[in-house]
Chain A
């Protein structure tokens, strides 16, 4: 299903021409609260018989996805970013994850997002995996490896995953519709819908789980310029704050079990509060030093310990990725990633912290902002 969310260029006409589309009449669910649908198109060609194109007025990503979820007739529905590339077996892995459980209902399936910058892509297929040439993309590759392969895998192990990436997320359609679909008032819609679906199941005491697939199924292009990266991270920070605020009653609430006592506090303290503490901490250290009350020995010791630990954690993520999936086979690539791990805390990380501060500032002081610019370079063909 492709939703044309009021594009102002000739995307729709190009699709009509390329896939031989014709307008069809279809009953629309009266419960669907999205921007008006201008038309639904199906292909005249048998090879594209499963393709549905929905043309609607612009309402944003969540609105477009809600339209897709409503108009779909399948038991499960997947939401994928337009700039993502799936490997041929990806959907089979997802389907297997949905129906391999018998004791619990699988309400959502998420997976690892891999970095496709500089990879060789031809005819919509990933032909050769290459390390990004751009340094910003390399840092993000390291960050994604650490976050997806270690962080989310760990939360998945204790069934407390609170986010499924919007770039590659699959949901039980019935539950997604029961909770009202994506929230159109937040920029962190991928995290928010998981919170709501979990709450829904938890409050009704229904046995459920969320599956997480570590296989490299989805490849995407990450920002290669500071401006786009800062906009993206600023948006993530706002989305995080919005979701945490909406579901604040879960904070250390034993009624929600591990979600309330572990996952939510982790997101609060580590994902939301940590950048603020880092930012405030940096200036506090300068002030303490100026005032002459900084215990320099203790400061150096603890800074070096944290720095060494962060490098060790990144090294572990890189080596675990090599051991388990072996995506980057050249020794040079692994060494470059290790070098990234060494310099990341003093180069890339401050940028992430500043972006998070900007996002929080915008949200807390009601600075009007939406998704920001979404300029994409496009996949490399050679």
Chain B
């Protein structure tokens, strides 16, 4: 193979690796953000819940554990 063409291929390969890394970083950053949002949302909604009311509620469904 022509060495010039080979060098171009290697350069492209480097760009692909770089793009893959950037995509991965972006995805993980988004995941970190979403999980933080979800955790805060869950905590705000559930921190002061009286679970005994859940147990006493006539609406509470039955649950079996295997």
Contacts and interface: CB of A to CB of B under 8 A. Distances in A.
18 contacts: A68-B64, A73-B64, A75-B62, A76-B61, A77-B66, A95-B54, A99-B60, A153-B34, A153-B38, A154-B30, A214-B38, A215-B46, A295-B14, A298-B17, A302-B21, A309-B28, A320-B36, A324-B43
B59 interface: yes
Contacts of B55: 92, 95
Contacts of B51: 89, 92-93, 96
Contact of A79 (B14, B43, B62, B66): B66
Interface string B17-48: 11001001101101111111111011100100
A78 B24 CA distance: 35
A303 to B, nearest CB: 10
Contact of B21 (A73, A149, A157, A305): A305
Interface residues of B, number: 36
Contacts of B39: 149, 153, 214, 320, 324
Given A92-B54, A149-B35, A320-B39, A75 B21 contact: no
Most interface-central of A2, A65, A153 (chain B CB within 10 A): A153
> Does more than half of chain B's interface fall in helix, strand or loop, or is it mixed?
helix
A95 B46 CA distance: 13
Given A1-B66, A74-B63, A95-B63, 20 more contacts: A74-B61, A74-B64, A79-B65, A80-B66, A91-B63, A91-B65, A92-B51, A98-B61, A150-B35, A153-B39, A157-B37, A157-B41, A158-B34, A170-B63, A212-B38, A214-B39, A295-B10, A302-B17, A302-B21, A313-B28
A353 to B, nearest CB: 16
Given A154-B38, A157-B34, A72 B28 contact: no
Contacts, number: 116
B47 to A, nearest CB: 10
Interface size, A (range) = 35 or more
Nearest to A86: B65
A91 B6 CA distance: 62
B18 A302 contact: yes
Interface of B: 6, 10, 14, 17-18, 21, 24-25, 27-28, 30-39, 41-43, 46, 49, 51, 54-55, 59-66
A316 B61 contact: no
A156 interface: yes
Interface of A: 1-3, 64-65, 68-69, 72-80, 89, 91-96, 98-99, 149-151, 153-154, 156-158, 170, 173, 212-215, 266, 293, 295, 298, 302, 305-306, 309, 313, 316, 320, 324
B65 A80 contact: yes
A104 B27 CA distance: 28
A266 B30 CA distance: 13
